[in-house]
Amino acid sequence: MRFFDTHAHLNDARFDEDREALIESLPSKDIHLVMNVACDMQEAPKVKALSEKYDFIYAAVGMHPHVAGETSLSDLDAIARYMEHEKFLALGEIGLDYYYDFSPREVQQKWFDAQLSLAKQLDVPVILHIRDAFGDCLDILKAHKDGLRGVMHCYSGSYEFAKLCLDMGLYIAFGGAVTFKNAVKPAEVAAKIPLERLLLETDCPYMTPVPLRGKRNDPSLMRYTAEKIAALRNMEVEELAEITFQNGKQVFGIL
């Protein structure tokens, strides 16, 4: 069985103690591809270094909505330069987060819009982080829908909104949250969307699935999420792993 963890933060400080050992153990734990995401320009060089060291680790960079207030035009130039690197395959995560509101909403919107324009100009897929902001997100995405490619990461919205995302050509990724007892909506969406648009992710070190909730998450814990979604869809976990593995390669353009 092989899994693609389509969203991880392996450069998070919580992996400082055992990062290399953990990464080297992943293929023996069925994790054969990882998209490692840098949330700002400080993290980007570290994400680049890991992608250069390990064949099976790819890279993404974007200005997260949490740091939108610190974003500048020079960051867009820096992102564009990273996208020339052969292991950087996506621009993200970008989006809107009205749950935490760490940056003013109009500032989040401005940089979300600017980074979507950049992704189109560079012809790269985007990784979208949207929390409690689906209405404004939809307005901005609609303005960029021509040529839009990418992933709705850690999906937490309704089935109706998921359908709009699918109509715009997006893939939908689910992580540990689908295993949470109160996660009725994401589980419903994970059960119903077309299999060819479904992705698996961990968002590690966050979003640890049940039964390990509360501990540090890592890519090898993907199987708990996969088992839950496979059960919801009444299919074998091996089949779900393989289909979502291929979906991930497709959306990020890995040949």
Using CB under 5 A, list all residues that contact Zn ion. Answer: 203
Nearer to Zn ion, 159 or 206 (CB): 206
- Give DSSP secondary structure letters for 195-248: GGGEEE---BTS-PPTTSBTBPP-GGGHHHHHHHHHHHTTS-HHHHHHHHHHHH
DSSP helix/strand/coil, 231: helix
CB 208 within 8 A of CB 215: yes
Nearer to Zn ion, 145 or 215 (CB): 215
Nearer to Zn ion, 64 or 223 (CB): 64
Nearer to Zn ion, 16 or 167 (CB): 16
State the nearest-atom distance from the C-beta of 206 to Zn ion, in Å: 7
Quote the tokens at residue 177. 């949250």
Q: By 3-state DSSP, what share of the chain in percent is helix, strand and coil, each rounded to 5? A: 50, 20, 35
DSSP helix/strand/coil, 12: coil
- CA–CA dist 222, 204 (Å, integer): 10
Nearer to Zn ion, 108 or 242 (CB): 108
Quote the tokens at residue 84. 């020339």
Nearer to Zn ion, 5 or 203 (CB): 203
State the nearest-atom distance from the C-beta of 93 to Zn ion, in Å: 5
State the nearest-atom distance from the C-beta of 54 to Zn ion, in Å: 19
- CA–CA dist 58, 28 (Å, integer): 18
State the nearest-atom distance from the C-beta of 35 to Zn ion, in Å: 10
DSSP helix/strand/coil, 166: helix
HSE, side-chain direction, 13 A CA sphere, residue 27: 6
State the nearest-atom distance from the C-beta of 154 to Zn ion, in Å: 7
State the nearest-atom distance from the C-beta of 231 to Zn ion, in Å: 25
